[in-house]
Structure 1
Amino acid sequence: MLLSFRDFEIDTSLFTLRSGDQLSRVEPQVFDLIVYLAQQPERIVSAQELLAHLWAGKVVTESSLRSCIKAARQALGDSGAAQNCIATVRNRGYRFVAAQCVPSAPVLSPRLRLEPAYPAGVPPQPHRASIAIMPFVDLSQASQGRAGIADALVHDVIFQLAQMRSLFVIAQGSVFAPKLRQLDAREAGQLLQVDYVVSGSVSLKDQRLSVSLELAETGTARIVWVENFCQALDDALLVLNQIGSKIVATLASEVELTERNRAILRPPDSLDAWQAYHRGLWHMYRFNQNDNQQAQHFFDIAVRLDPSFSRAYTGLSFTHFQNAFQGWSARAAQVDLAYQTASLSLEADQRNPSAHLAMGRALWLRGQHADAVDELEHSIQLSPSFALGHYTLAFVHAQAGDPHAAILASDHSRLLSPFDPLLFGMLGARAIAHVRLGQYSEAAVWAVKAAARPNAHIHILALAAYSLALAGALDQARALVATLHQQQPHYQVEEFILAFRFDAQGAQLFRQAARLIAPSC
């Protein structure tokens, strides 16, 4: 339903608020408040009614409602003094006083079409890259006795890859069709009309399972990636699951890398939603302020072209997270935007593990540790091969949760994605966990590895310096601080502590490390 008043338009089906061509992002609770009042123009709505509607029985004070009213007025260009949209009726409640709303069925403007507009006769690009996992060849001498092991692995990979929801995955029934088994991988991929095709072989020898894989682009026959996975077959089902998880995480990462590199070569004004999203990823993973702004620009294009694109909202949420975490913009506003865009990602696709990851990060920014852990655990329940879900769980646990769980999650994330763009964070989370456990030498080893990554940001350099100091390597720590100060001359330990959310003991340990490096500070 559309609600129109003044120069604003609310689409309750897409959860959007627009003024002309400008799309405003508001918190879900603020959006619900505006809709509730706008649907009842000229009626006085009591504070108690609004509290009951917005907080559904939770015990909150009227100050929470006043904050929500203030945010709603700001979103509508209103104020407590002007009250052109939401008026306060003293001792009675609130009344919506803008021009009469006109409800109607939603008609998408060109800015909010679910698919970009294409010239007549030109078919739209697929929303996601497509991939087919072809049946693996069983090379084992005893293949008669284990006829199902290769097919079981393919089934597991297809299932887990589909759980990630980042690619369009051809179903098992299609790839196992007898006709396709007679074709080579490229021919089968062309027949299925997919962008990528995976072929491979399985071999069992001396109770070791070896899986050799090849990922190729269907259109060009270019080999994108090859790898061999080998593991002792102690427990067949467990090993198949472990190897399958590694394959899935690596495939998703390699396809994403290829799509990013392809998108960066296209003219910016020719991008569709999928390409704009991957252009944004290319900038996002460079971890500096200018590229973060560029990433935000391309993610904005992606969601404008396709408002149902859950992962594009996730990317937007991450850029706001980075602005807050790195101190590149006013923290409070960026925390709110990280939460709002994570909410839009969840609204677009509740089963997308990336959407729950974004919400977990946003809740961590808001200081809601338990809720953040719940969302992150949900993300890896939806997709056990989701390396970034495991990493972010390690990140949150390392600072104020269970440091032992952080170490396990960090190790698992690296096992799934050993060349991940966020590898520095995976290593850094393990280092923080060791600091909180009083294992300073181990912390220093992992933190130095993290700082050595080419895209490590300044907080990772600080983590390495403080870990070295706690381990007694003061000369190395001071040399690293000198390098850090070349990038940011006035960096202090309080900036490091502000960026993270350590428990009291953890914060005290890092302050102690800073005093060891520079006793006068």
Structure 2
Amino acid sequence: MEPYGRRQIDMPSLTLRLLGPLAIRREGVDVPLPGSRKVRALLAYLALSPHPSGRAQLCDLLWDVPDDPRGELRWCLSKIRSLIGEQRVRAKGDTIALDLSDCSVDAIEVTAAHRHGFRTLAPEQLRSLADLFVGDFLDGLAIERCPAFDSWLAFQRRRLRDTHAALLDHIVQRAGHEEVRSYLDRWIALASFDLRPHELLLQSLAADGRVREGEEHLAATAKLFDSEGVDSKPLREIWRTARAQADETFIVHPAPVAETAPSETAAPQTHRRASIAIMPFDDTSPMAIPGGSSDALVHDIITRLARQRSLSVIAQGTMFALRDRRYTPHEAGRMLGVDYVVNGSFQRLGRRITVCVELTEAQTARIVWAEVFEYDAAETFLLLDEIGSRIVVTIEREVEALESNRAILKPPSSLDAWEAHHRGLWHMYRFTRSNNEQAQHFFETAINLDPTFARAHAGLSFTHFQSAFQHWADQDVEVELAYRAASQSMMADDRDPAAHWAIGRALWLRGLHDQSVGELEQAVELSPSFALGHYSLAFVQAQSGDAQAAIVAADLSRKLSPFDPLLFGMLASRALALVRLGRFEEAAGWAIKAAARPNAHAHILAIAALSLALIGRLDEGRGYVASIHHRFSGYSLSDFLTAFHLGPEQQTLFREGARQIGLH
């Protein structure tokens, strides 16, 4: 199945059909299925499990405290061996897995194609995938008194319905006029409350002049929407617009005459933010209850993400109401008109918590990030707090990267404030003088388009901070510009943690340590998941404040954002704090890690060189000095000591180390 992201199988010896009623073919012959529903359920669960499953986990999944759950599990596994072949059931220790590497499994095939990207497939490949959907996942299978399996089954059905809808969307976009209608009908039957297929159908009917059919479809669909409490006004507006556009094709209008006076200026654009909806996670735990740990985690993610203030986040009341009405994530995203949707699953088995999360582009249903978090649940609430923080930081970082990459492809003159801001971020994180200047330009563009955009002011402040810190321009001027831009960010939105982050760093440039720490602490109080706030606290405290607190903050920032563009700074701050604590060997280890980051600048390499000198590894230190002078000619010890606010004791240490390795 090479086109779908898997190895091509010419003649699979085993075929499992999970989309529709379960069916098995071996060597081209249909295999009779046993009457036991639990055998079928166990087979499907193991087929889709990405990792081996523990026997205790499988017992909790399918048996409601029977006399001998392990005995029943063994019996079911023996039946599965007879269905698919002895060699395919792999038991290792206390775990069970299926080897289906040379088999065809429809649900796995469409999932792989979805992850790989439907847009990469030819139309005939898309149609072949659509033909695999002969019904709902494990259609007709239900097991009484198995809440964990019921939750898993509901999650898989919703996930695969969303995949099916995304597939139909791609087919419709490329289908010929004659076949569009049949795929739209399938799409509407699958996702009745998704506006997109209704919109395409009504536009098609209007364009073909089939007004009566359009009116009938509108009336029936509006009645369905109203019966479920869904606003049907957008549907009516879609039909009105489609009718008007169809009529326009037969009317020729004269070109409009521009009446805007030359002296008039356009009004500032309204600040746009990317929007996101967090769907409640499916709880597949054996003892799952409404309002339990899974719902608490989603509440926490929504609250934390809203406090970041970088995205427009749909309120939790709406999201839980949509869950209760059994909307799929894809339907919810389309209905709400958001840019991104997050959904996932939660499972607690004994002390083990597993959380699977996916971030999807709402309009294309393309999965842009997915991760599995697995932890030992010694302290459940502390653990949920940690998982929630990791998820929030990663979501924000992934959306930021997606928006920046999207903006970098657009002509600069076409950018709105949001896009110009993200174009600025793309350049800002390159940490070179030329990219820093480009970042300033795009942040200024964003501010001109929307003077109330707090994050654009904060970004501009950071570029001036970089110019001052790296000595790329007059330091006094850049310090003042960094402070001025940060102040504008605070005036625009003093509840944005990024505004306090920017002002905190600008105050540090002014030598106001205590005020700087106060603002940075306010940033992380507003948003405990704000990794850059924790990093900046580490940066400031590592030099002239509480060195132990700096280590804690550096570790937290790395834990929240392990792939951050500023990871080199997090590592280097820890190294500086360790030097102040006299732990030179440890400091050198962390400094070397910092210098290994691809975007590490001269000051980071200098920390590594000087830390190595402190423990007598002079040749390695001289190697870093040579690298500094090769990449940054003219760099001196004075540049290093001027950049950092180090105490007399640390300055003396570093001067002696620099003398030994030739950093003058």
**What SS does the aligned partner of 1:321 have?**
helix
Equivalent AA in structure 1 for residue 278 of structure 2: I
Cα deviations by residue, 1:327-372 (Å, 9 ceiling, x for unpaired): 0000000000000000000000010000000000000000000000
Between the aligned partners of 2:602 and 2:343, the Cα distance in structure 1 is 41
| 2:521 equivalent to 1:377 | yes
Give the structure 2 partner of residue 155 of structure 1. Answer: 299
Give the structure 1 partner of residue 369 of structure 2. Answer: 225
Q: How does 1:262-281 map to 2 (within 5 A)?
A: 262-281=406-425
Aligned residues: 402
Deviation at 1:235, TM superposition (A): 2.2
Query: Relative to structure 2, which stretch is displaced further, 491-500 or 288-297?
Result: 491-500
Give the structure 2 partner of residue 206 of structure 1. Answer: 350
Q: Could you tell me which of 631, 634, 640 is aligned with 1:496?
A: 640
Between the aligned partners of 2:452 and 2:512, the Cα distance in structure 1 is 27
| 2:624 equivalent to 1:480 | yes
Cα deviations by residue, 1:179-206 (Å, 9 ceiling, x for unpaired): 6742221111010110000000000012
Deviation at 1:513, TM superposition (A): 1.2
Quick check: 2:279–2:323 contact (8 Å CA) kept in 1?
A: no
Cα deviations by residue, 1:85-132 (Å, 9 ceiling, x for unpaired): xxxxxxxxxxxxxxxxxxxxxxxx97684426xxxxxxxxx6100000
Give the structure 2 partner of residue 433 of structure 1. Answer: 577
Give the structure 2 partner of residue 294 of structure 1. Answer: 438
Between the aligned partners of 1:487 and 1:178, the Cα distance in structure 2 is 55
Quick check: 1:210–1:230 contact (8 Å CA) kept in 2?
A: yes
Give the structure 1 partner of residue 283 of structure 2. Answer: 138
Between the aligned partners of 1:256 and 1:488, the Cα distance in structure 2 is 30
Between the aligned partners of 1:272 and 1:494, the Cα distance in structure 2 is 42
Unaligned runs of 5+ in 2: 1-262
Deviation at 1:153, TM superposition (A): 0.6
Q: How does 1:21-60 map to 2 (within 5 A)?
A: none
Cα deviations by residue, 1:236-270 (Å, 9 ceiling, x for unpaired): 22211111111111111111111111110111100
Quick check: 1:112–1:306 contact (8 Å CA) kept in 2?
A: no
Between the aligned partners of 2:266 and 2:499, the Cα distance in structure 1 is 20
Q: Could you tell me which of 232, 255, 269 is aligned with 1:115?
A: 269
User: Could you state the TM-score of these two structures normalised by the residue count of structure 2?
Assistant: 0.59
| Larger fraction in helix | 2
Give the structure 2 partner of residue 342 of structure 1. Answer: 486
Quick check: 2:612–2:618 contact (8 Å CA) kept in 1?
A: yes
Give the structure 1 partner of residue 551 of structure 2. Answer: 407
Give the structure 1 partner of residue 272 of structure 2. Answer: 127
Cα separation, partners in 2 of 1:186 and 1:518, compared to 1, 3 Å? same
Cα separation, partners in 2 of 1:183 and 1:411, compared to 1, 3 Å? same
Give the structure 1 partner of residue 219 of structure 2. Answer: none
Equivalent AA in structure 1 for residue 279 of structure 2: M
Quick check: 1:399–1:501 contact (8 Å CA) kept in 2?
A: yes
Between the aligned partners of 1:489 and 1:217, the Cα distance in structure 2 is 45
Give the structure 2 partner of residue 248 of structure 1. Answer: 392
Runs of 4+ in 1 over 2 A off after TM superposition: 109-114, 178-181
Give the structure 1 partner of residue 405 of structure 2. Answer: 261
Quick check: 2:547–2:581 contact (8 Å CA) kept in 1?
A: yes
Between the aligned partners of 1:113 and 1:325, the Cα distance in structure 2 is 36
Select the structure with the greater relative contact order (CA < 8 A; seq sep ≥ 6): 1
Give the structure 1 partner of residue 3 of structure 2. Answer: none
Quick check: 1:273–1:302 contact (8 Å CA) kept in 2?
A: yes
* Identity over aligned pairs, percent: 57
Give the structure 2 partner of residue 318 of structure 1. Answer: 462
Deviation at 1:508, TM superposition (A): 1.7
**What SS does the aligned partner of 2:460 have?**
helix
Between the aligned partners of 2:420 and 2:586, the Cα distance in structure 1 is 41
Cα separation, partners in 2 of 1:112 and 1:371, compared to 1, 3 Å? farther
Between the aligned partners of 1:409 and 1:442, the Cα distance in structure 2 is 17
Cα separation, partners in 2 of 1:410 and 1:110, compared to 1, 3 Å? farther
**What SS does the aligned partner of 2:373 have?**
strand
Larger Rg: 2
User: Aligned-pair RMSD on alpha carbons?
Assistant: 1.5
Between the aligned partners of 1:224 and 1:350, the Cα distance in structure 2 is 32
**What SS does the aligned partner of 1:275 have?**
helix
Between the aligned partners of 2:524 and 2:583, the Cα distance in structure 1 is 28
Q: Could you tell me which of 555, 571, 594 is aligned with 1:450?
A: 594
